[in-house]
Structure formats: C-alpha cells, structure tokens
Chain A
C-alpha cells in the first residue's frame, strides 16, 4: 500500500432517510496519519457519514473508501482496517469487560500469545486494568467510553473512527480521552466527530465542518479560527476624513479582500478589514496610510474564534440548524 494513498475517502456520499436527505454529496480525503475532526451541529450528518464509512449504512449514492478499498465492494476487508467507536458506545451490558474484549479479539482473529499481549497493551492504555472483572452494565459512562475505545483498538487498526468519543464525560475524563486520542494520532489515522469546539482545536490537525448534510469547511484549526480562512484587522483612522475615500484606499491594499466601515466612534472612523487566507497585510496598511496621509491611531488583528466560524457556517438562512 502506498503511503501517500488516502486512508479514508468519501466520494459524493449521499444518504436519504425517507424524504429527508441526511447527508448530501459529502466528499473528502483523509491521508494516513492525520487526525481529523468532524464538526457540526447535532443532526448535521456527522454520524450518518461515519456509519457509511464503517459499512454500517449503505449510502443512497456515492461511495466510501477505506485504505483504497470500496466499502460496498468488499465490506469485510474494509472493516478489518477500521476500529470504530459508535456514538454512545453501545456495549453488551451483560458481559464482563474481559470477556467482551476476548469476544472482539475472537472476531478480529487475534490469536494466542499475541492476543494476550494486545489485550494487556490496550487495557493499560485505556486504563481498564481495575475493571476487567466487572459487568459492562455496571460501569460509569467514562469507563464505558474507554471500553468502547479499547474495543476499537483490539486489532491495532491503522484507522480509528470515533463518533463523539467524549460525549457525556466529565471534564477530567474528557482530558484523559483527549490525551489518549492525541497519543493515538501519532501513529494512526483518526477521524473523530464532536460538537465540542475546544476538543477539535486541542486534538486535530484538520477540521471538517458539516452542516445540513453538506461539507461547508475543510481546513486546519488555525485557518478556521479566522473567517474565510483569513484574519480580520481592525483599523481606526483619526478625524472625520472622508470615510468613502479611506475605504477605497484600504480596499486597494494588497492582501485585503474586503472592507466594512463600522462608522464613527469617539476616536475616529472604524473599519473592519477581511484579509486573504494566510496573509497579514498590517504592514502594508500602515505604509499605505502614511503615503495617503491618513492618521492611523489603531491597527490590530482581531481574534476570531472557531466558535464564530462554526456559527457563521452552520447557521442557515432560517436561523437555526435542523
């Protein structure tokens, strides 16, 4: 298998539930070794997309590939490559943790001494050593989630698909799971979904935002922390100098993609400049202002949080999301 090959690929995946389209033409690629966060409001289609990638749901149209294998063509081979933690970590409540892990190892064909080594490693990493003899039904939510994660790792898969791995956990447990994911991300490809924003910022190399079944953004956390992938610069010009001409001057600066006049404040005219992705035109803005004789009294880059981007991208015209 070539290293550059995409570990996961979605090609215009669509899924209809009756008359509603839950996932609408989602396409993306995840390369080997990436940790990708799937972000979106509840009901946006995150889980449905993941269910199609893991072969639990058949797409209405489009196709899903795992390590180059078409999930619809050879589901068994594709499922061998994946470790999957479904939403809410469904587990057999009537089984003991240790029996459950052996059952998974049975089906994953992990045999002999290799099995014992694997299970020991996993139990240590997921912190299950103390609860092996307990019934899964008695476990707290945090432990259930860890058992679910352990179950996904039994066969040491190259790809982990985790659907809301930290939902329902308390802050300490969230930190633990997040650390585990970060650790896993060093050697594995991880695709995780969440609607908790700090979580993806903390653990992902890349973020995909899905809204109403459509992929609306696909970028690094840094880029998405600025609207349109670029930064926002706030400029205040002294005096009531013709706002109109100042706006034109600012708009002409290289790297600025848009200018909004926010009107006059005490200090002077306030402008909000949108910048091209990756550009930081503050120096040019300063130079231009000097050249054109504009008195610049404030120039700073505004912090745009991922929350802002998320809200902007996922709030539909109707106001709220589905």
Chain B
C-alpha cells in the first residue's frame, strides 16, 4: 500500500510539474463549461443533467479525449526512457506500480471535476437545484473517468510509443462511448447487450440521479479488468 502511495505521489507531482495537469484542468473547465452553459440558458431549468449525461457533444465526451492523453505516458514513457528497468527492479509488486499510476491519473481528473463544482453552485444561485442527482452525477463521472483511465493505462503498458498508446486508447474508449447511439442500427437481439457494454449507457443512468449497483459494478469490473491486464503486460518481461 505504501508503495502505491509513493508511486501515485510521484506521478501526480510529475503531472503538476509539467504543463499536462494545467492543460487538462483548464481545457476541461473551459470546454465543459461552455458545453454546459450554452444549453443551460436555452432550456432555462436549474438542472445539472446535461452536464453529466453523455452525448456526442458533452463534458463526458471530452473525457474520452482527455483520459488517453493523461494516461498515455504513464508506462510507455518508462519503457522508452528505460526507467522501467529501475522501477521493476525496486522491491514492489507490478500491481502496486499499475495501481499507483492509475490513482495519480484518477486524482488529476478528480481535481478537474472538483473545480467544476463551481457550475452547480452557479446554477443553484439561479434556481432551486436538487443536489441528489448532482451527487449521483459526480459519482458517475468519476467512475466513468476511472474506467477510461484504466483502459488508457492498459494501452500505455502495451507499447513504448506514447502516440500509439493515445490513439489505441482513444479508439477503444470512443467505440465504447459512441456505440450507445449506434445500437439503433444493430440487430434488435444484440442491442441490449451492446447497450450494456457501452460506457455511456451507464453514465446516462447515473446522470438521471439513479445510482444502480449494475452500473457501478460495470465500471468497477471494467476498470479492474483493464488494470489486471495492464499488470500482466508489465509482468511479461520480454524486452
């Protein structure tokens, strides 16, 4: 556990010592704020659901791009620069390394999400805001982001090229995100299954203010699965 914290602390510091953290946070706040407020006044309702609900033009869609950008360097860079040799010959489990890096990425996104609390606070000053769905929405967003970050780490573990890691993670996340709207073109028998596999379907449920265990279990198991495979990949040392 202490190793996880050590690794996470180093990675988090690396994010904030470089422009990465600031670019991620500022671009998320700016673009997500614009996406949200541009529709808020059109609808004229004190409601945060458009902020959380997935759509082809939404803050969660922005995370589909930002999450792979956050995670792409985590393991690929260590491979490229050779520091992976340092890391893997320290007395740590491979899983501790992967989880530490994952938590650093989650913490970065959590900071960005925390700063968006300014939006519901603004909305609540404009009208009566029901905070229940807001809390559910934030939990959903964090789970959703964690899943994308875990997928990103897995892709980063597979290559020493950060660009490859980014593109592959973006494609996987993008497919899992957009397939939700493509289900209408699928055979009806497959549609429910595809819906369940999509990351946006579960976020949509939570954006409505419903924290259903099925959605939580979906996110947690995809996250755990991706981290497990990433650990396995790291342990298969052939290079």
Q: Which of B87-95, B172-180, B209-217 contacts A (4 or more CB under 8 A)?
A: B87-95
Judged by a CB distance under 8 angstroms, whether B10 is at the interface is yes
* B18 on the A face (CB < 8 A): yes
CB-contact partner of B6 in A90, A106, A151, under 8 A: A106
B3 at the interface (CB under 8 A from A): yes
Give the complex CA separation of A17 and B238 in angstroms: 7
CA distance A55 to B91 in the complex (A): 10
Flag if A79 contacts B86 (CB, 8 Å): no
Report how far A108 CA is from B17 CA in the complex, Å: 24
A84 touches B91 (CB 8 A): no
Chain B residue nearest to A60 in the complex (CB): B238
Q: Which of B50-58, B77-85, B101-109, B161-169 contacts A (4 or more CB under 8 A)?
A: B77-85
A17 to B81, CA, bound (A): 21
A82 with B92: in contact, given A92-B83, A103-B6 (CB under 8 Å)? Answer: no
- Is B14 on the interface with A (CB-CB < 8 A)? yes
> Contact between A107 and B90 (Cβ–Cβ < 8 Å)?
yes
B83 A84 Cβ-Cβ under 8 A: no
A-B pairs with CB below 8 Å: how many? 64
Q: Which chain A positions have C-beta within 8 A of B92? A: 76, 107
Q: Hey, which chain B residues are within 8 Å of A82, CB to CB?
A: 89
A52-100, CB < 8 A from B: 54-58, 76-77, 79-80, 82, 84, 86-88, 90-95, 99
| Cα distance, A104 to B3, chains bound together (Å) | 10
Interface string of B3-43 (1 = CB under 8 A from A): 10011011001100110000000000000000000000000
Interface centre among A86, A93, A104, A107 (most CB of B within 10 A): A107
Chain A residues near B88: list those with CB within 8 A. Answer: 55-56
Per a CB cutoff under 8 Å, which of B2, B14, B84, B238 touches A94? B14
Q: What residues of A have a CB within 8 angstroms of the CB of B17 in the complex? A: 94
Q: Are B82 and A79 in contact, CB atoms less than 8 angstroms apart? A: no
Q: A107-B92, A108-B91 are in contact. Are A88 and B82 (CB under 8 A)?
A: yes
Interface size class of A (residues with CB under 8 A): 20 to 34
**A51 proximal to B (CB < 8 A):** yes
Instruction: Tell me the minimal C-beta distance from B160 to chain A in angstroms.
Output: 12
Contacts of A58 in B (CB 8 A): 237
Residues of B within 8 A of A99 (CB): 13
A56 touches B237 (CB 8 A): yes
- Taking a contact as CB atoms under 8 Å apart, the answer to whether A90 and B83 are in contact is yes
Contact B89 A151 (CB under 8 A): no
**What residues of chain A lie closer than 8 Å to B90, measured between beta carbons?**
79, 104, 107-108
List residues of chain A with CB within 8 A of the CB of B13: 99
Are B82 and A86 within 8 A (Cβ)? yes
Residues on A with C-beta less than 8 A from B3 are 107
Smallest CB–CB gap between A30 and chain B, Å? 18
Which one, B81, B237, B238, contacts A93 given CB within 8 A?
B81
Which listed residue, B14, B18, B83, B91, touches A79 by the CB 8 Å rule?
B91
> Could you tell me if B85 and A51 are in contact, using CB atoms closer than 8 angstroms?
yes
A216 contacts chain B at the CB level, 8 A cutoff: no
Q: Which of A77, A79, A103 contacts B89 (CB 8 A)?
A: A79
Interface centre among A90, A108, A109 (most CB of B within 10 A): A90
A151 to B18, CA, bound (A): 23
Provide the bound-state CA to CA distance between A49 and B153, in Å. 29
Quick check: B238 and A90 within 8 Å, CB to CB?
A: no
Chain A residue at minimal CB-CB distance from B81:
A90
Given A56-B237, A94-B14, A107-B3, A86 contacting B89 (CB threshold 8 A) = yes
Q: Is the CB of A94 within 8 A of B18?
A: yes
CA distance A58 to B238 in the complex (A): 8
Chain B residues whose CB sits within 8 angstroms of the CB of A92 once the complex forms: 10, 14, 81, 83
A-B contact pairs, 12 of them (CB 8 A): A55-B88, A76-B93, A77-B91, A90-B84, A92-B10, A92-B81, A93-B81, A94-B18, A103-B10, A107-B7, A109-B2, A151-B86
- With A17-B238, A90-B85, A95-B10 given, name 17 new contacts (CB 8 A): A56-B85, A56-B89, A58-B237, A76-B93, A79-B89, A79-B90, A86-B89, A87-B82, A88-B82, A90-B81, A91-B86, A92-B10, A92-B81, A93-B81, A107-B3, A107-B6, A107-B90
